[in-house]
Amino acid sequence: MPDQPSIFITGAASGIGRAAAMLFAERGWLVGAADRDEAGLAALAGQSDAIVTLTLDVANRDAVIGAFATFGEHTGGKLDCLLSNAGIDAKGPFGDMAWDRVRQLVEVNLLGAMSVIHAALPLLRATPNSLCLSTASASAIFGVGGMAVYSATKHGVRGLTEALSVELAGSGVRAADLLPGIVDTGMLSAADKAALPTEGMWRVMPAEAVAQAAWEAYHGDALHWFIPPELAELDRQSTAAPEAVRDALVAGKMI
């Protein structure tokens, strides 16, 4: 299809990335689905002829550059949307975390995201109205105790998005991010889900809800996309009165 729009998604073998790959493919887009999980990619590829799978570790710079070169051959050197989504999680007190694990989170979640965006820019700049979209997190609204490094990397993704939304405007590339709260993915255990509320901003959201937000982000103009939308109120509170949010969290209260 000569004018078929295209999207490149990292972390596409499962969770949010997989849901986004399926949604965009179903709506007529050519999808570049990248992940280091080869089995997950194989299962995804069988779902649609519109999905091109690429084995990729976002922490490997040469592999990142090669993946975009390969996908660019499928799109004629263009890219309508990048969804930088790959990420890993780790819980526990910062002081107890092994330094190698700290480094790994930064290399994948932040440096990996930067590498992916940097490599995608030539394709995005060659495409009118393109979007550089990243998966941040509600932990980029206010840091989460027990997830300090993860929160730091996602604050970095959010800050990068805000800077790029200004920096890239002159080249016709838009930038936005997704800030999901608690999402039903492999990062969430059954015990976690059982302990969470069924309503309010901390209810468990399906990965498909985040995928839909990605679709709306391409067709919209907002900078930050909160999933669920109630998280925007926490963002306002955190800006207006961060000490009050801190004190509530220290007291063990659900914001």
pLDDT at residue number 193:
80
* Placement of tokens 């109120």 in the chain: 233
Low-confidence ranges of the chain (pLDDT < 70): 1-2, 254-255
The catalytic residues are: 137, 150, 154
Residue pair 19/83 in contact (Cβ under 8 Å)? The answer is: no
pLDDT at residue number 191:
82
**Core vs surface per residue 61-89: b (16+ CB within 10 A) or e:** eebbeebbeebbeebeebbbbbbbbbbbe
CA 155 remoteness from chain centre = 12
Q: Give the span between the Cα atoms of 233 and 230, in whole angstroms.
A: 6
| Entry pTM | 0.96
CATH topology of domain 6-188+205-230: Rossmann fold (3.40.50)
**225, 228, 231, 239: which is closest to 255 by C-alpha?**
231
Q: Give the span between the Cα atoms of 87 and 99, in whole angstroms.
A: 18
pLDDT at residue number 2:
54
**Eight-class DSSP state of 109:** I
Which are the contacts of 39, defined by CB distance < 8 A and separation ≥ 6? 13
pLDDT at residue number 57:
98
